[in-house]
Structure 1
Amino acid sequence: MAAAQVIRSEWTKIRSVASTVWTLSLAVVVTIALGMLISALSANGFDGMDPRQRLSFDPTLISFAGMSLGQLAMIVFGVLVVSNEYSTGMIRTSLAAVPQRGGFLAGKLGVATALALVVSMATAFAAFFLGQAMLGEHRASLGDDGVLRAVIGGGLYMTLIAVFSMGVATMLRSPMLSLGILMPFFFLISSILGNVDATKKIGRFLPDQAGGRIMRVVPPLDDDTPYGPWGGLGIMVLWVVAALAGGYLLLKKRDA
């Protein structure tokens, strides 16, 4: 099957499955709505902050507060894009139509990544502008130093979360097993490792903590992180590449 046909086929699969469309929609709504709420609460509480809190006040990052939940929907999207075919048995038909497994995987991930990127970028810019509107006089401008980088980085971060999930789902094949590992990894293990003094230096190299650095404009006080915003995103990219490589090697090795 030609590359164009593979891409067309994968696009049809994604848009014809209601669950994938709904998860992307949920990612948009949750990220924007929660970001607006936290921004409004932060604006109301600004006068009550102590001087140290005001020095580290980051209006750009605050508008992305909803990404903590929005990324959950992106994880589900990434898992469903890959594992739906395994759970329904359609993977056998797909691999019969596209015997070149590398081409099959590249087409699937390429289409899903492009869709995730468009949705994530639109969400990041919408969350920023609406969040800043809620912050009022405490808002940041897109032209301020580091702000445009942070907003674009927010879109890239959400996209990479989805792609990482696709790689893990390709390795594990099962949607329940994939979600059963990814959800605790991002929402429990990463949080614990990143907030316990003994493991902070390990936690900061996990994909979400390293990648999330790109959305910061104002660094925390007494920050000793050994990498900058782009360095953190680079670490996240390495995690994604490792997940995709693992998925590709296992897809080539085993039966459908």
Structure 2
Amino acid sequence: MASFPAVLRSEWTKIRSVRSTVWTLALTFVVTVGVGALLALLTNNNFAEFRGNRQTPFDATSTVFSGIELGELAIIVFGVLAIGNEYSSGMIRLTLAAVPQRATLLAGKTAVLGALALAVSVVTAFVTFFVGQSLLGPHSTTIGEPNVLRAVFGAALYLTMLCLFAAGVTTMLHNQTLALGVLVPFFFLLSPILSAVPKVKTLARYFPDYAGSRMMLVYQQQGQPYGPLAGFLICLAWTAAALVGGVLVLKRRDA
């Protein structure tokens, strides 16, 4: 019986030895910061046109996090590859032989993935915020303003939960190509399309991407069904469901 610390060490070695997982984490940082900086610069240079006649307060924090939608893709790919590489290479059989306690194995994978994703996401969120605010000029805000720090951490937690959600889905499907074939259309096609259809857009508001966007808001907007805390709980529920599903499938199916 492998001890949990041994499982953690093994999973950490696997992740850092695979270049694709390292590059996807780096890409999460670069894309989120880069797109956020570009949008902040464009907003500052075209602020009058951007705001129009809106009466609601300008949310400088969520503006710089608008680029997180592309960062989502990279962190999802990281979660998929971190789990799926073992299935595509056949190494999962050796892993299960060494750690037959499948719930313990997935718990170890989740702990390492979650810790690494959280560390990268926190750095990404804070760098995105400070770089973006520096480019917003007179329209910027500070980290000490009400709810701003909470929104920055909300962005980091959202990315972390997306990574774990992707890992849980990949564990259920046992195939990284299939997992990407489900997750990418779900986040970048199905969710946006349903959000634009009047009869079903209420359902789309409870998808993880919409809930995550609520976590990065500083001001509660009129007409929105819920706020940051509810958004966090919805994302957490999606993540927990994917991981529980991963445990159940891993216990019942062969590698």
Q: TM-score range by the shorter chain?
A: over 0.9
Partner of 1:97: 98
Task: Kindly provide the CA deviation profile for residues 126-183 of structure 1, in whole angstroms up to 9, marking residues without a partner as x.
Answer: 0000000010100011111111110000000000010000000000011110000000
2:224 counterpart letter in structure 1: D
Tell me the CA shift for residue 211 of structure 1: 2.0
Per mean C-alpha deviation after superposition, the further-off stretch among 188-197 and 93-102 is 188-197
1:184 counterpart letter in structure 2: P
Partner of 1:228: 227
Contact 1:212/1:233 (8 A) holds in 2? no
Contact 1:190/1:203 (8 A) holds in 2? yes
Partner of 2:236: 237
CA RMSD of aligned residues (A): 1.1
Question: Superposed, which structure 2 residues align to 1:211-222 within 5 Å?
Answer: 211-220=212-221, 222=222
Partner of 2:16: 15
Q: Secondary structure at the match of 2:168?
A: helix
The separation in 1 between residues aligned to 2:34 and 2:224, in whole angstroms, is 32
Tell me the CA shift for residue 61 of structure 1: 0.4
Tell me the CA shift for residue 56 of structure 1: 4.6
Task: Kindly provide the CA deviation profile for residues 39-63 of structure 1, in whole angstroms up to 9, marking residues without a partner as x.
Answer: 00011111233221x6252110011
The separation in 2 between residues aligned to 1:205 and 1:172, in whole angstroms, is 23
* Number of aligned positions between the proteins: 253
The separation in 2 between residues aligned to 1:57 and 1:198, in whole angstroms, is 30
The separation in 2 between residues aligned to 1:195 and 1:134, in whole angstroms, is 32
Partner of 2:52: 50
Unaligned runs of 5+ in 2: none
The separation in 1 between residues aligned to 2:253 and 2:175, in whole angstroms, is 14
Q: Secondary structure at the match of 1:134?
A: helix
Partner of 2:160: 159
The separation in 2 between residues aligned to 1:211 and 1:236, in whole angstroms, is 7
Q: Secondary structure at the match of 1:7?
A: helix
Question: Superposed, which structure 2 residues align to 1:1-256 within 5 Å?
Answer: 1-48=2-49, 49-52=51-54, 55-220=56-221, 222-225=222-225, 227-256=226-255
The alignment's TM-score, normalised by the length of structure 2, stands at 0.97
Contact 1:82/1:166 (8 A) holds in 2? yes
Tell me the CA shift for residue 235 of structure 1: 0.7
Tell me the CA shift for residue 187 of structure 1: 0.4
Q: Secondary structure at the match of 1:197?
A: coil
Task: Kindly provide the CA deviation profile for residues 186-233 of structure 1, in whole angstroms up to 9, marking residues without a partner as x.
Answer: 00111111222222211100111112201011334x4231x2101111
Following TM superposition, the consecutive aligned residue runs of length 4 or more in structure 1 with deviations greater than 6 angstroms are none
- Aligned-residue sequence identity (percent) comes to 53
The separation in 2 between residues aligned to 1:202 and 1:56, in whole angstroms, is 27
Contact 1:20/1:80 (8 A) holds in 2? yes
Unaligned runs of 5+ in 1: none
